[in-house]
Structure 1
Amino acid sequence: MSTGAEATAAGGDRSGDADVHVTSASCKGFCSVRHGLALILQFCNFAMYIQNVNLSVTMPAMVNGSVPPCPANASDARDACNGTLPGPWAAEPVYDWGPDIQGVILSALNYGSFLTSLPSGYVAGLFAAKHLIGAGLCASSILSLLTPCAADAGAALLIALRVVQGVAQIVVVTSQYEIWLKWAPPLERNQLIIFSISGGMLGAFSILLVGGFLCETLGWPSIFYISGGIGCACLCLWFPLVYDDPEHHPFISARERDHIVHSLAQQERVPYRSLPIKAMMKSLPLWSILVSHFSVWWHFSIVVAYLPTYLHSVLAIDLKDSGFLSALVMAAIFVCTILGGLLADLLLSRKVLPILVIRRLFTAIGVLFSSVFSVLLSWVSGSRGVALAFLVLSVVPGSLCQVGALVNFMDIAPRYSGFLKGLSQIFTSLSGVIAPTVSGFFISQDAESGWRNIFLLSAAINLPGLVVFLIFSRADVQEWAKDEALTRL
């Protein structure tokens, strides 16, 4: 958001023209093209996140088998065990991959996204976001459909496929923020962005809830076919219904188009060919955002990687129930993320709090709840009910950071939002690689003290990151993001 746009959004004199006020008032609500765009983007993130985690869900079946035990006296059962019975009970391939190979395969997706975060963020600011997102989702969906064939060909080809898929997915992640620079009025930007990216949590909930069932009934390849098919179905909505700006959308009403255009009238948006690299490196507000991405995602990476393990090994919940509870936690995160975006826009539109206070407040709530209740978990594990309550309180409020530090880059440099999202994704990926590795080391040393050390270290990383953000964060467009940069990339 530009400074002028923020002042407009905060309730200043938006326009001397009375028609603008009528247009703005008439365009409130959820029955609009821009909210339909948010719904389609949510569907895109839903499909992409299922494709992201589908291999994690299927890996146990791929290395251990997913065919039910053979009954003793049944000729058709013997045929099924021999793989000759068509349908859901047909035997699926089982691969002899050790833990080391499995680790490389599961992390291959992160290699692709880590290596191309910056280039994809730069490209996102140069080309039409619609085509970049569509191409990225299309490539990821096709590769998901080809995953069972790649697994049959060998681990090396599967690893290569997942690396390329990670590249395709990071293009979708970095490009979608460019869409909202032309579609989201300042007063609605929080809710539209948060609603669209919440599809990731909805995808995690869905795959955790039904993934095991699909492996046991239809076989593990079905998950890749279904996730790829969902992505292809999303593309059927994306290309005909999505446009890069409201001016060229054929189905938008004149009132809504004028409302969006007038609300963004003072926001400059010029395509860039160069980047102010030196100024970015010296920008303390930008560094506060990057540090927050690393610290906030440290705790969330541990939750994603070890939540079922913690429920099973520490709270003695069986694997089936632990998967179900993990899915419920993801559903709670999804709801909290949506409500956080709506609340942030409500506070902003009614001039209760300025945008900078909203960013800092939501980040502080998310980090403090995560840190305090995760540390307390080590002392209440003897009571399953209390431990589950503390676990939820240590995870779900952290999603409020999505309305805080994790979207703050659009405030300080909307012009470079795609590039900065790619830059922040590097810190997110770095945290996602280090945190589970360190946690695994602690657990391998001693299970009881290991979990305590994991939570203490998480708090020790989260709290300094919060302090840095509270001190150095800003919500106005920085000087280096206003003028043409002279420093070439």
Structure 2
Amino acid sequence: MKKYAHHSYTYTPLLDAEQTKDHEMTWRFWRRRRLVVALLAFFGFFNVYALRVNLSVAVVAMTEPVETKLENGTIAMIPEFDWSTQTKGLVLSSFFYGYLVTQLPGGWLAAKIGGNRVFAIGIGTTSLLTLFTPPLAHTSTALLIAVRVIEGFFEGVTYPCIHAVWARWAPGEERARLATLAFSGSYAGTVVAMPLCSLLAHYTGWPGIFYVFGILGLIWTTVWWIVVKESPEKDPRISAAELKYIQETRGTTLTDGAKHPWKAMLTSGPVWAIVVAHFSENWGFYTLLTFLPTFMKDVYKFETSATGWLSAIPYLAMAATLQGAGHLADCLLRRGLLSRTNIRKLFNCGAFLSQTVFMIAAAYSTSVVGCVVCLTIAVGLGGFAWSGFSVNHLDIAPPHASVLMGVSNTFATLPGIVSPPLAGSIVLDKTAEQWRVVFFISSAIYLFGAVVYYIFCSAELQPWVLHDQSDASFDTDGASVTTAGGYDNRATDHNSEM
């Protein structure tokens, strides 16, 4: 029977100069296996969002009138799918119903069988189902809705299970930069997929959207499955120095047979600080993602083609800001300029307060340039927030981080379901005054999130985290590793790169 005790840890810097030099991120990223994992995770989330938004573009082509030859020989303009507004809304929202269900189970399963496997299965299955979307759509609208629900079901595991990967792969001093590198793939996927889907619909027809992204997703799944292992101990290509560095700095991991302390987790102030922050950030994100093109058209009379490109600018800023924010957070931690808790508070609350101001400024902007600048800053600053709350799960409870991400992302999915119809019920006359109300609501939620996170946030290992006191040893893929007093990795003695 395993014994568990409350455990706190500190990150001990490597002492010798060679190891210190080796753990710096150099241009030879492929020699650092954790960077390979992060880069492949980036493309994984790129696929996640490409597979999610493809229908948003395809549905336009599916429902626009096209020349159709009738039985009597006449030519008429008839849509391929003559859906009502309600049916179209149901088709587009069906994904989120499946997505909501698997957040918590995905985190739990990842902790049990390995986040790398669950991540691959989630994206791979979604990609495979995407290939069947065109024939199912031609067969029945009900089947199309059903397959979108199932796609959401499998894609719902992705965000929770990636934290199970980082719990094993991310050194304590690099959590922010590795996690934000991976998460930025979501925004890059959104920006690239939207115009690419439009081009595919124009040149190949709307089914080409699903075939291209489905095949790309399956190719990525194959590469990830072959390259990425459950933990650094199981990677035969990792160097001895990098393995030791990760083991000494990542903190405690969940041992076989250990259980999640559900009551303690769900009554923890720091956990709910993360939940509220995640909900707040996603409220503003989903509101703008859904309605920014419509807002630009209603208030500034932009044509639909122009609004698509303008709407992409804030998310380009978000993808770029995520990278800088992650590196800055880890730099502050590494240099000891601020405590881990204060870094998380500064980045998260600072971003939320700034987003509150710029969302209101955008609502009262009198020019399209001013509005786009304010919204770009507001969305872009979300990258700093993600260097706060999104890695906070790994700070407070590394062994349970995947489950905690499942909890927070469950609540954070609700804005995607609630905010669009709420905004739609407010903006009835398409006036600037009505749109201001939508922006005020988002600003108020950002402000609420900042206050709650500042009061309850912690980045210290929580006392309810269970830690196995026994010496853990591994014998994996040709590598024998002992984590208690040292290590021996026979497969990688030839390479000391970290």
Normalized against structure 2, the TM-score is what?
A: 0.86
Q: Equivalent residue for 1:482?
A: 466
Q: Secondary structure, in 3 states, of the residue corresponding to 1:479?
A: coil
Match in the other structure for 2:480: none
Q: Say which SS state the counterpart of residue 364 (structure 2) adopts.
A: helix
What displacement does 1:157 show? 0.6
Give the whole-Å Cα distance in 2 for the aligned partners of 1:39 and 1:483: 30
Q: Which residue of 1 aligns with 2:230?
A: 244
One-letter amino acid of the structure 1 residue matched with residue 206 of structure 2 = W
Alignment of 1:25 with 2:21, yes or no, is yes
Deviation, structure 1 residue 272: 5.1
Partner deviation per Cα, 1:213-261 (whole Å, 9 max, x = no partner): 2212211111111110110110231121111112221222222222222
Query: Where in structure 2 are there 5+ consecutive unaligned residues?
Result: 1-5, 69-73, 469-498
From 362, 383, 401, the counterpart of 2:347: 362
Distance 2:169 2:280 in 1: 30
CA distance in 2, matches of 1:231, 1:298: 28
Alignment of 1:279-290 (within 5 A): 279-290=264-275
1:25 aligned partner, one-letter code: K
What are the residue-to-residue correspondences of 1:128-147 with 2, within 5 Å?
128-147=114-133
Aligned to 2:391: 407
Cα deviation per residue 1:77-107 (whole Å; 9 max; x = unaligned)?
xxxx999xxxxxxx99811211111111111
SS in 2 for 1:314: helix
Q: Does 1:392 align with 2:376?
A: yes
Distance 1:183 1:92, change over 3 A: farther
- Within the candidate set 197, 200, 208, 2:186 is matched to 200
Q: Distance in 2 between matches of 1:106 and 1:332?
A: 26
User: What amino acid maps onto 1:57 in structure 2?
Assistant: V
> Structure 2 CA distance, aligned partners of 1:168 and 1:130?
14
* CA shift for structure 1 position 277: 2.2
| SS of match in other structure, 2:428 | helix
Contact preservation (8 Å) 1:126, 1:273? no
Q: 1:376 to 1:418 in 2, by over 3 A?
A: same
Matched to 1:459, the amino acid is: S
Aligned to 1:420: 404
Q: Is 2:266 the partner of 1:270?
A: no
Compared CA separation, residues 277 and 245, structure 1 to 2 (3 A) = closer
Asked if 1 retains the 8 angstrom alpha-carbon contact of 2:298 and 2:430, the reply is: no
Name the CA distance, whole Å, in 1 between partners of 2:167 and 2:233. 13
Mapping of residues 322-471 of structure 1, within 5 Å: 322-380=307-365, 382-445=366-429, 447-471=431-455
Instruction: Please tell me whether the aligned partners of residues 134 and 238 of structure 1 are also in contact (alpha carbons under 8 angstroms).
Output: yes
Q: Alpha carbon RMSD of aligned pairs, Å? A: 2.3
For 1:99 and 1:93, locate their aligned partners in 2 and report how far apart those are by CA, in whole Å. Answer: 14
Cα deviation, residue 410, structure 1: 1.6
Alignment-mate amino acid for residue 56 of structure 1: S
Query: Which residue of structure 2 aligns with residue 184 of structure 1?
Result: 170
Match of 1:103 in 2: 89
- Partner SS for 1:126: helix
Aligned-pair distance for 1:480? Answer: 1.7
Using a 3 Å threshold, how does the CA distance of structure 1 residues 445 and 274 change in structure 2: closer, same or farther? farther
- 1:63 is displaced (CA, Å) by 1.0
Moved more, 254-263 or 172-181: 254-263
Match of 2:105 in 1: 119
Give the whole-Å Cα distance in 2 for the aligned partners of 1:180 and 1:359.
17
The total of aligned residue pairs comes to 454
Paired residues of 2:426 and 2:437 also in contact (CA < 8 A): yes
Q: Is the 8 A contact 2:347 2:387 kept in 1?
A: yes
1:327-369: CA deviations, max 9, x gaps?
2322111001111111111111111111111111111222112
State how far apart, in whole Å, the 2-side matches of 1:179 and 1:323 are.
Answer: 35
1:269 aligned partner, one-letter code: L
Structure 1 stretch 436-445 or stretch 157-166: which is displaced more?
436-445
Match of 1:212 in 2: 198
CA distance in 2, matches of 1:293, 1:159: 28
Q: 1:53 matched to which residue of 2?
A: 53
* TM-superposed deviation, 1:154: 1.1
Q: 1:272 to 1:396 in 2, by over 3 A?
A: farther
Whether the aligned pair in 1 keeps the contact of 2:51 and 2:127 (CA below 8 Å) is: yes
Is 1:172 matched with 2:158? yes
Give how far 1:446 is off: 5.2
SS in 2 for 1:352: coil
Please report how far the alpha carbon of residue 14 of structure 1 lies from its aligned counterpart in structure 2 after TM superposition. Answer: 3.6
Aligned counterpart, 1:39:
39
Aligned partners of 2:168 and 2:253 also within 8 Å: no
Percent same amino acid at aligned positions?
Answer: 32
Question: Whole-Å Cα distance in 2 between the matches of residues 164 and 92 of structure 1?
Answer: 30
Greater Cα offset, 28-37 or 225-234: 28-37
Secondary structure of the corresponding residue to residue 230 of structure 2: coil
| Aligned twin of 2:147 | 161
Q: Distance in 2 between matches of 1:449 and 1:398?
A: 25
CA deviations 1:444-465 (Å, max 9, x no partner) are 1552221111111111222122
Supply the AA of the counterpart residue of 2:43. F
The AA in structure 1 aligned to 2:351 is: G
Alpha-carbon contact 1:3-1:476 (below 8 Å) kept: no
**What is the identity, as a one-letter code, of the residue corresponding to 1:390?**
C
Separation in structure 1 between the aligned mates of residue 343 and residue 75 of structure 2, nearest angstrom: 61
Structure with the bigger percentage of strand: 2
Alpha-carbon displacement from aligned partner over 1:151-196 (angstroms, at most 9, x marks no partner)? 1111111111111111111122211111111111111111111101
Equivalent pair of 2:115/2:230 in contact (CA under 8 Å): yes
Secondary structure of residue in 2 paired with 1:408? helix
After TM superposition, give the deviation of residue 27 of structure 1 in Å: 2.6
Query: Hey, what's the Cα distance between the residues in 1 that align with 2:311 and 2:159?
Result: 24
Which structure carries more helix by proportion?
A: 1
CA distance in 2, matches of 1:462, 1:55: 29
